[in-house]
Structure 1
Amino acid sequence: IVKSVRLFPVPHSCAPQLRKHSATSSQQHNNKTCVPKMDIMFLKTHKTGSSTFLNILFRFAEQHKLKFAFPNNQNDFYYPSSFQRTYVHSYRSGKCFNVICNHMRFNSAEVAKVLPRDTFYVTILRDPAELFESSFHYFSSITPLTWRIPGEDKMAEFLRNPNLYFSPDKINSFYLKNLIFFDLGGDNTLHPDDPRVEESIRLISGNFHLVMLMEHFEESLILFKDIFCWEMDDILFFKLNSRNKSAVSKLSLELRAKALQWNSVDWKLYKHFNRSFWEKVEAYGRERMERDVAELRRRNAEMAKICIDGPQSVAAGSIQDNAMQPWQPFGEKFIVGYNLNKNIDEANQKLCRKMLTQEIQYLKDLGANVWFINILRQVRYIINW
């Protein structure tokens, strides 16, 4: 006889109590105050600028001593498996966590059993054609379907006749079709007119309080700050985990159209949340948004002058501090990073280092057990791969 396991409810929150401050949201006009949101589910989607946002989230959570739900021994929740609460390190029924943010294939019912009931959910999308280009190249070394494509421009050849090369049952095939819909827990092989696609979009809309857009990252952060009642200081950022410009393939209009057609479910998803995103911007106020984005850019530029050695990012081989060294795709070294300024004033030293620390290294600093990833890193360093 198999006995059922009793599940205890997660407390409303175990976050430290913060003082209310003047609201920066629509409530501001009514002279009300708000309390910063501390319980956060961030669905980290692939190739969407999510590593940059993750650094913001790490800094805020570390500052306020929030409790992370981390995976066991690695930097994702056994992706591409559908998320299960048992994937969380030291999980037990009723234990309280404040933040979950590592890569996963979303499973709303299981996530809800890990976090407090009043948790706020956020994720980020990207134009599906640009995302396909990035994913195709970034994951090509671990996607065997791309290995047999002839010619120098494998992506263009693939898009000429995707069904000739694509097979949904092959290893890591999900990287090549409707990747965002897959990350969100959907079936990436569905036809866009399948009723299950519309139903999934409806459920996503109900689950997530904010769906950001990579193409409008700064506007997204302002909306995030508004909804979560954070301060401008909390959302300062440097762009992390980006490719060298020479490694980015510029899509022709023809290839863009083919990429959108091939990723038509992602395109339907993106168009839906693009509309809702701009509705939120309108509600926030266009002029107010422009002022706040300008302020964010000004503050980021100031921090760049303080923190970064040189005017821009540099190739991996030129990065001097291991904490600033980004994770590279297998067999490649096209992800750029930064060098820390050697003459930072004492007041900014800690913040600068935090803002420039890469994801894997920051996870380790926060106490995540990423021994498997660290072993991989050392092996690749030794064999220069």
Structure 2
Amino acid sequence: MMFGMARFLRFWTCRWKLMHHGLLLAVFLVTIFMLIYSISTANDLFPKTCSRQGKPSPLQTALPCYPRWDLMFLKIHKTGSSTVLNILFRYGEKHQLKFAFPAGGRNDFAYPAPFSRRTVSGYSPAICYNIVANHMRFEPVALAGLLPRERFYFTILRQPASLFESSFHYYGPAVPLTWRIAGRDKMESFLRDPWAYYTPRAFNGHYLRNLQFFDLGQDKDMDPHDPRLGDIFQDLEARFSLVMLTEYFDESLILLKELLCWELEDVLYFRLNSRVASEVTPLDPMLEDQARSWNQLDSLLYAHFNHTFWRKVEIFGRRRMIWEVAELRWLNAKMAEACIEGGGPVEASQVREPAFRSWQPAGKRSIVGYNRKAGIEEPYQDLCEAMLTPEMQYMGRMGVSLWKMRLWAFFRDLVSW
């Protein structure tokens, strides 16, 4: 009996040792595998693609193409970029795409600091994002790890003199540099002697000089004769597949539609975040020259990408462009007739529904909005509502918390600023 028990114990002791050694061997092999895997992927900055997109569409091709939707839109200030953002929001909702939204109750990625993935709400390397489109200061290395490899970068630029006029009036009350400018026309006084008021490192001073160059991640006070400037433009051209132009907005959307292989209906729009006409200050030729000279880096930037833009139009075909722009404008007019009471925008105080009231700059109520038409036909109801919805409200309906923006708006209205 004792002999049998000893034999039984020796059997299970040996079996346990074998199992223990096997378990240790399995743990060792798994550890080695994970180590090799980590080393092999340590330099891979790109998440796994989550979209079902095909090859990019070349301009003017007879071959079939596939819609692209891994997109980074650099939303440059005061260029009409809010209208483009509405197009992206609608397309993303329609196709259930994943947006990278700002964290911290903001509508931008901690601007004016350079973009960081820490500013993305709920960021995780395991999450696959399709679209990044809110305001940021461009930082290509940080952005590279947010989207799949086959992503499409695009942005929009505006003629620098008109952009400066718009930026000065929209952001001026939030720029302390402007507070000590005397006289009724502060912009004219500033342009006649900018260095009397401007300090490169002043709070919000980036709104007053070369704003587009700054948003693209560059030094707004760089010497315009710096020999590195040409390389900067070439690098930006290599990164951005399309640079749209505000002055040729419809032509830009046609090129965008073509490159993304979207439908014309995907790029219908109403202009959003635009000022009432009475608030726009026409620039006489002398002031316009002064604005361009003061924003010389933006002027050189715009000239470079104006050339690349029309090169793309030539490839697309000018006659074809004329026809497609005409069709886009006709469809936009039909949508305005179907959606908008009176067919056009109204002043902020006349917008009845809060859902369609645009964000207003400090101290003013100059941004127009729309009144939704009563009795919209059923097929157009959802599209009308989406096209009329400003950025903040659209982000809210997509589940983004904008508590910081709402708190700022509350205190701003409380003190009537």
Q: Tell me the TM-score range normalised by the shorter chain.
A: over 0.9
> Do the aligned residues in 2 keep the contact of 1:9 with 1:93 (CA within 8 Å)?
no
1:270 to 283, 287, 302: 302
1:13 aligned onto 2:44: no
Deviations 1:47-67 (A, max 9, x none): 000000100000001100100
Give the whole-Å Cα distance in 1 for the aligned partners of 2:291 and 2:278.
20
> For residue 279 of structure 1, what is the aligned residue in structure 2?
311
1:26 to 60, 66, 70: 60
Deviations 1:170-219 (A, max 9, x none): 10111000000000000000121112322221111111000000000000
Deviations 1:132-151 (A, max 9, x none): 00001100111011111111
Deviation at 1:367, TM superposition (A): 1.7
Pairing 1:96-111 to 2, within 5 Å after superposition = 96-111=128-143
Pairing 1:219-234 to 2, within 5 Å after superposition = 219-234=251-266
1:242 to 268, 271, 274: 274
Deviations 1:58-116 (A, max 9, x none): 00011001001111021000000011111111112242101000100000011011111
Deviation at 1:272, TM superposition (A): 0.2
Deviates more, 1:369-378 or 1:60-69: 369-378
Paired letter, 1:203 = D
> For residue 338 of structure 1, what is the aligned residue in structure 2?
370
> For residue 237 of structure 2, what is the aligned residue in structure 1?
205
Deviation at 1:368, TM superposition (A): 1.8
Give the whole-Å Cα distance in 2 for the aligned partners of 1:46 and 1:291.
30
Give the whole-Å Cα distance in 2 for the aligned partners of 1:49 and 1:114.
25
- Specify the structure having the higher radius of gyration (Cα): 2
Give the whole-Å Cα distance in 1 for the aligned partners of 2:271 and 2:347.
14
| Change over 3 Å in CA distance of 1:94–1:203 after alignment to 2 | farther
Q: Secondary structure at the match of 1:211?
A: strand
Deviation at 1:378, TM superposition (A): 3.4
1:140 aligned onto 2:172: yes
> For residue 353 of structure 1, what is the aligned residue in structure 2?
385
Unaligned runs of 5+ in 2: 1-38
Deviation at 1:301, TM superposition (A): 0.1
> For residue 155 of structure 1, what is the aligned residue in structure 2?
187
> Do the aligned residues in 1 keep the contact of 2:276 with 2:347 (CA within 8 Å)?
yes
Give the whole-Å Cα distance in 1 for the aligned partners of 2:124 and 2:194.
44
Deviation at 1:311, TM superposition (A): 2.9
> Do the aligned residues in 2 keep the contact of 1:25 with 1:229 (CA within 8 Å)?
no
Deviations 1:104-132 (A, max 9, x none): 00000110111111100000000000000
Unaligned runs of 5+ in 1: none
2:217 to 168, 185, 193: 185
> For residue 54 of structure 1, what is the aligned residue in structure 2?
85
| Change over 3 Å in CA distance of 1:6–1:373 after alignment to 2 | farther
* TM-score normalised by structure 2 residue count: 0.87
Give the whole-Å Cα distance in 2 for the aligned partners of 1:244 and 1:144.
25
Q: Secondary structure at the match of 1:33?
A: coil
Task: Kindly report the root-mean-square deviation, in angstroms, between the aligned alpha carbons of the 2 structures.
Answer: 1.9
Give the whole-Å Cα distance in 1 for the aligned partners of 2:359 and 2:392.
8
Q: Secondary structure at the match of 2:309?
A: helix
> Do the aligned residues in 2 keep the contact of 1:7 with 1:94 (CA within 8 Å)?
no
Give the whole-Å Cα distance in 1 for the aligned partners of 2:53 and 2:65.
10
Q: Secondary structure at the match of 1:123?
A: strand
> Do the aligned residues in 1 keep the contact of 2:53 with 2:68 (CA within 8 Å)?
no
Give the whole-Å Cα distance in 1 for the aligned partners of 2:47 and 2:174.
40
* TM-score normalised by structure 1 residue count: 0.94
Number of aligned pairs? 377
- In terms of fraction of residues, the more helix-rich structure is 2
Paired letter, 1:158 = F
Give the whole-Å Cα distance in 1 for the aligned partners of 2:415 and 2:383.
34
Give the whole-Å Cα distance in 2 for the aligned partners of 1:161 and 1:277.
33
Paired letter, 2:97 = L
1:64 aligned onto 2:95: yes
Q: What is the percentage of aligned positions where both structures have the same residue?
A: 48
Q: Secondary structure at the match of 2:114?
A: coil
Deviation at 1:382, TM superposition (A): 4.7
1:317 aligned onto 2:349: yes
